[in-house]
Amino acid sequence: AQSVTQPDIHITVSEGASLELRCNYSYGATPYLFWYVQSPGQGLQLLLKYFSGDTLVQGIKGFEAEFKRSQSSFNLRKPSVHWSDAAEYFCAVGLNNAGNMLTFGGGTRLMVKP
């Protein structure tokens, strides 16, 4: 069965600093990859997705992610973090032959220091 690992449960960065959130997946084939953000009391909002093609994908709110097949990773990055980016971030994996099911990682909670 596929699995998704987000090794960092909590991350704290200063406003204006760069950010990288890690995501590793375990599956033999190339999955469909997603990053979602969840603000307190809110549902999940899609930041970006990778299906195929260019391995560097751009998303909303200035986020980007890079798919590295050799490392089974799909890390999320932002060059300059804003205080409003404080939230929980989830990486998710979907498989073409799994009926659009998504498997989520455990999440990384981002705190932003002023």
Partner 1 sequence: EAGVAQSPRYKIIEKRQSVAFWCNPISGHATLYWYQQILGQGPKLLIQFQNNGVVDDSQLPKDRFSAERLKGVDSTLKIQPAKLEDSAVYLCASSQGGSSGVREQYFGPGTRLTVT
| Nearer to partner 1 among residue 54 and residue 114 (C-beta) | 54
| DSSP category for residue 81 | -
| Nearer to partner 1 among residue 36 and residue 81 (C-beta) | 36
Compute the least distance from the CB of residue 114 to partner 1, in Å. 25
Rounded distance between C-alpha atoms, residue 64 and residue 79, angstroms = 9
Tokens of 90: 């989830």
| Nearer to partner 1 among residue 18 and residue 26 (C-beta) | 26
Compute the least distance from the CB of residue 2 to partner 1, in Å. 12
Is 24:5 a contact under the CB 8 Å cutoff? yes
User: What angle is formed at CA 53 by the lines to CA 74 and CA 48, rounded to 5 degrees?
Assistant: 45
Residues that bind partner 1 (CB under 8 A): 4, 32, 34, 36, 41-46, 49, 51, 90, 92, 94-96, 99-102, 104-107
| Nearer to partner 1 among residue 17 and residue 46 (C-beta) | 46
Is 93:27 a contact under the CB 8 Å cutoff? yes
Secondary structure (3-state) at 95: coil
Compute the least distance from the CB of residue 80 to partner 1, in Å. 26
